Structure 1
């Protein structure tokens, strides 16, 4: 049982996005409770240009008497009458990411990339967001708000910050496990294998036999699990930013950190090459930038800084700094210049730039009888991530000594970010719900899927290293790896028309890249000069119409992934 760094990256990325990007939609734009769940997809207009439905599925596919769940499904409809190609299901990662919010944000962009003759379909996995029953360990939003700051800001308490952090995090994991046990609403059925079965049920409700799917980050585990369970039902399956599914179900994501130091090095190298005009934290060599960051880390460890902003106040110490740096690695093309500016400001005594981009908006109690949501988006990402991750894996020892030993093992893989793998394992060490005996435990592959998978991996992904993609291709013979020569978490973080063209031809024609194909980015991470006072500022350029459509769609997709949080400033996966 392990909570991935991917899913809680959702919360931190979401925090940064809420701070610096206005949300296109919010939970208040549509009331899902007014939709009556049905065993058929009964569509109702929702949001603007979308359709929504709630689909009834069994909680337990082996025992109908256990009860049902209602899956929230939304689609950006195909505009084609004569050449309709069916639904493409999307998952933005997590676990705990809302597929509904993802498609509401990104549906038009994904339609541009894949083609308007597909329905672009988002669904909230069972237990998540608008699907019911919803995983909730807390009785009220206020109770949740009191608990969550320890996890959102800072997200990953580091044992390097103080000697008592590991013991404290372990104790909080015990509390969380007890809360889940006391408020259990069929949480044992909120597992990836059942979500995969729900995907097939959704596809069949569209009248289609085989699943078409694009999953990023944790969504790669979901896609791989589906292909392993239903190899004869694979229509088109893309898994992008690939986790080693055997490691996932074995509750040991040490391998997840194996490219994180490479991703950090890409910041050092790019910042140095850009010079002070392109990166505010620049120095003549990469090694000097690394030393400057080490000095900053030592400084805020020795003296935590008080911070006051227009809407909140708090402190900036070692943990928040490391969280901020790590999360920026997920989205280098839009965040590296801002990271450089934030580090430069911090070095000059201004902690507010980094702090303001790292925290969620302050909690406000709702007005009595108000229907206005407390958060700017409907989120139970943290609780859902815990339930799904801990329910998928194997039992974790709660021994403090064994957790310390695990941490030391991760430090052999990454010298910079071992705490990110430790944190979630520590939380799952307190999980007390009995694991389903029939939960998925393999096989971790399939010898003969009905259509080959397209597997995509970045060469310096800080969250899902390319070794996971290589292993997955071997587990599903006939599948092909498309390598993206870039840092960043999943191909959605990289401006690459090459990737989008391969995605389009795979979904439309079933054409796979030639073995060994490598895509490169369309643009450098650091321009020659940039106003990096806000995220994405360097992208404020007019795109030549001859290159246009896919590039504009790619940028919109990057922003949507960041806003929804599937890529990580929250992770997991």
Structure 2
């Protein structure tokens, strides 16, 4: 089982879950983005090292259609405009497939924006967002969270996002078919503990790799985070900004830190929220993940046991043991579902993902309570299966998947190919179980790394996050109760980037994955003061103060 991948905003989670549950149950520069001319039509100047058709391109912005299934299978209509009537515009950006061969093959990246109402004199530039993954579609996500960022747009920023290479409409990685993916999750619904289950796992892995190579083989060597950062710099140039002004969340923080390492003199006002751990030690990183999710589960259980309808016992420790036992029972006998159109059962792995998904937001805790109560009292797994589907980018009605999961694998294996063998990974099982009795037995499998026959065997751009010499400091945000990117990882990233002067850290005492979308007044004031006025908080600022 892969560890948590995609940032899901609080607003998106609440809206989608409410609707689907109902269906189921019945200090910087004053002007950071200077450019001349009209913001929508002036061609860019040449870009060093690339042919003119790339360096001088001018995106053709048009009204956005509905996101494709590869971006968001739940979407059925074009994105709704913002409250002041501003609509979302979409365009394509042409980039080299291989930056070492700029005259060679190209690919198209999907872009989206909402234009600031500010005059040309008051406009700050483009603020580019990446919401995480790797594998998440920015074109699908930004409109769902746009109102949360509208103060920044009103203050002078055009809000811009994109599907990174290998994601969604930007040549999204395609491997197995939707039906094949469903069949695989039903055939092997638990960690492969027996010899027979391991034979099934080996066969499924071979089938997955063969499908990835057959459907996306030419793309796989080129979807690294470093190449996505190079795309960001071409995007910055084409949008007309002297520096990249950027808001990255979750994996988006890794992308932003990589950009700062590659292009330090082009770093503009930057916020990195829910910062990933920069460690290249998979055991340390995996244990941090397990501890983070267990910590978030404990916080949920501390709240749950105070409620009269908590299904998980009377104390947090009792609740954690109950959930662990529940997953163990599912390994032996999955739960039936009553309303899944595909007739799937709730396996242990699907339930594990559904449980973990609710820890990304305190507002989602209520759905975990409902899902566990349904399993305990009714012996069915509809809601936990639905939670898994939403998290995994699967339409629970049609069965269509986004490219999120294969994109995650491809990007991860382009950045850090190889990894431990199964035997080497399982040697750490006791450590993972000690870190989390609920999540450890599943997360230890993430150590096994990329398949032996994955076509990328050597990273062209090993990760490096040193941002010493960046033109502007990069503000890091960390949440004390974050399950997926625990605060300890943010502290290590600060040091990897060059310390508090380069990357000052703001800690928010809260729950969930990411601080800004919590709409905590202290966080909003600190971040907006930086992005709008160039006033960055001091290192080790705490919210609330």
Q: Same fold by TM-score, threshold 0.5 exceeded?
A: yes
- Given candidates 288, 292, 306, the residue that maps to 1:255 is 288
* Secondary structure of 2:159 counterpart: strand
- Given candidates 210, 226, 236, the residue that maps to 1:178 is 210
2:150 alignment partner in structure 1? 111
1:355 alignment partner in structure 2? 385
Displacement of 1:282: 6.5
Q: Does 1:44 align with 2:75?
A: no
- Given candidates 494, 507, 513, the residue that maps to 1:489 is 513
Cα distance in 1 for residues equivalent to 2:112 and 2:229: 17
Displacement of 1:66: 3.2
1:5 alignment partner in structure 2? 3
Displacement of 1:157: 3.6
Cα distance in 1 for residues equivalent to 2:434 and 2:280: 17
2:424 alignment partner in structure 1? 402
- Given candidates 429, 438, 444, the residue that maps to 2:451 is 429
Cα distance in 2 for residues equivalent to 1:431 and 1:423: 18
Return closer, same or farther for 1:456/1:448 CA change in 2, 3 Å cut-off.
same
Q: Does 1:123 align with 2:156?
A: no
* Secondary structure of 2:467 counterpart: coil
- 1:231-246 → structure 2 map (5 Å cutoff): 231-246=264-279
Displacement of 1:514: 2.9
- 1:391-540 → structure 2 map (5 Å cutoff): 391-397=414-420, 399-426=421-448, 428-435=450-457, 439-476=460-497, 477=499, 478=501, 479-492=503-516, 494-520=518-544
1:570 alignment partner in structure 2? none
Displacement of 1:93: 0.8
Displacement of 1:483: 0.8
Cα distance in 2 for residues equivalent to 1:299 and 1:127: 37
Return closer, same or farther for 1:392/1:271 CA change in 2, 3 Å cut-off.
same
* Secondary structure of 2:95 counterpart: strand
Alignment size in residue pairs = 482
Cα distance in 2 for residues equivalent to 1:516 and 1:9: 24
1:141 alignment partner in structure 2? none
Query: For structure 1, which runs of at least 5 residues remain unmatched after alignment?
Result: 24-35, 139-143, 365-373, 522-573
Residues 128 and 380 of structure 1 are in contact (CA less than 8 Å); yes or no, is this contact kept in structure 2? Answer: yes
Return closer, same or farther for 1:311/1:171 CA change in 2, 3 Å cut-off.
closer
Cα distance in 2 for residues equivalent to 1:322 and 1:497: 33
Per-residue CA deviation, residues 88-116 of structure 1 (Å, 9 max, x unaligned), is 11111111111111122222331235644
1:547 alignment partner in structure 2? none
* Secondary structure of 1:71 counterpart: strand
Per-residue CA deviation, residues 232-289 of structure 1 (Å, 9 max, x unaligned), is 111012111111234389996443333221111101111123x21xx53375433343
1:344 alignment partner in structure 2? 373
Displacement of 1:152: 6.5
* Secondary structure of 1:64 counterpart: coil
**Structure with bigger RCO (C-alpha 8 Å, 6+ apart):** 1
TM-score (norm 1): 0.75
Displacement of 1:20: 4.2
Cα distance in 2 for residues equivalent to 1:89 and 1:168: 42
Displacement of 1:197: 0.8
1:136 alignment partner in structure 2? 174
Residues 193 and 226 of structure 1 are in contact (CA less than 8 Å); yes or no, is this contact kept in structure 2? Answer: yes
Return closer, same or farther for 1:265/1:404 CA change in 2, 3 Å cut-off.
same
* Secondary structure of 1:313 counterpart: coil
1:196 alignment partner in structure 2? 229
Return closer, same or farther for 1:315/1:379 CA change in 2, 3 Å cut-off.
closer
Query: For structure 2, which runs of at least 5 residues remain unmatched after alignment?
Result: 22-52, 65-77, 82-86
Q: Does 1:75 align with 2:113?
A: yes
TM-score (norm 2): 0.79
1:89 alignment partner in structure 2? 128
* Secondary structure of 1:185 counterpart: coil
Q: Does 1:21 align with 2:59?
A: no
Cα distance in 2 for residues equivalent to 1:422 and 1:434: 23
Residues 154 and 320 of structure 1 are in contact (CA less than 8 Å); yes or no, is this contact kept in structure 2? Answer: no
Cα distance in 2 for residues equivalent to 1:388 and 1:265: 31
- Given candidates 323, 327, 349, the residue that maps to 1:319 is 349
- Given candidates 173, 190, 207, the residue that maps to 2:240 is 207
* Secondary structure of 2:378 counterpart: coil
Q: Does 1:100 align with 2:118?
A: no
Cα distance in 2 for residues equivalent to 1:299 and 1:179: 32
